[in-house]
Amino acid sequence: MSQENVEMVRGLLPAPDVDIAQLFRDDMLWAALVAAVAPALRSDFECFNRGLPGGEGRTYKGLDGLRVLWLDWLAPWATYRTEIEDAIDLGEHVLVPVRDFARPQESAQEVAFGGAAVWTVRDGKIAQIGFYTSRHEALKAVGLEE
Specify whether the CB–CB gap between 49 and 75 falls below 8 A: no
Q: What is the per-residue pLDDT across 67-77, written as a single tens digit (0 to 9) for each?
A: 999 999 999 99
CB proximity list for 48: less than 8 A, separation 6 or greater: 55, 58, 59, 60, 69, 128, 129, 130, 131
Q: What is the pLDDT of residue 70?
A: 94
Q: What is the pLDDT of residue 144?
A: 82
Confidence check: pLDDT of 55 > 90 = no
Q: What is the pLDDT of residue 77?
A: 95
Q: What is the pLDDT of residue 2?
A: 83
Torsion sign over Cα 18, 48, 146, 1: negative
Confidence check: pLDDT of 4 > 60 = yes
User: In angstroms, rounded to a whole number, what is the distance separating the alpha carbons of residues 112 and 124?
Assistant: 33
Over range 31-42, report the average pLDDT: 96
* Closest C-alpha among 85, 102, 98, 37 to residue 63: 37
Q: Of 1-10, 19-28, 102-111, where does mean pLDDT reach its minimum?
A: 1-10
Over range 21-29, report the average pLDDT: 97
Confidence check: pLDDT of 1 > 60 = no
Q: Which class for 63: exposed (0-12), middle (13-18), buried (19 or more C-beta within 10 A)? A: middle
Q: What is the per-residue pLDDT across 75-120, written as a single tens digit (0 to 9) for each?
A: 999 999 999 999 999 999 999 999 999 999 999 999 999 999 999 9
Residues composing the chain: 146
* Closest C-alpha among 58, 15, 51 to residue 33: 15
The pLDDT-based confidence of 53 (bands split at 50, 70, 90) is low
Q: Express as a percent the part of the chain with pLDDT over 70.
A: 96
Mean pLDDT of the chain: 93
Element (DSSP H or E) covering residue 35: helix 27-37
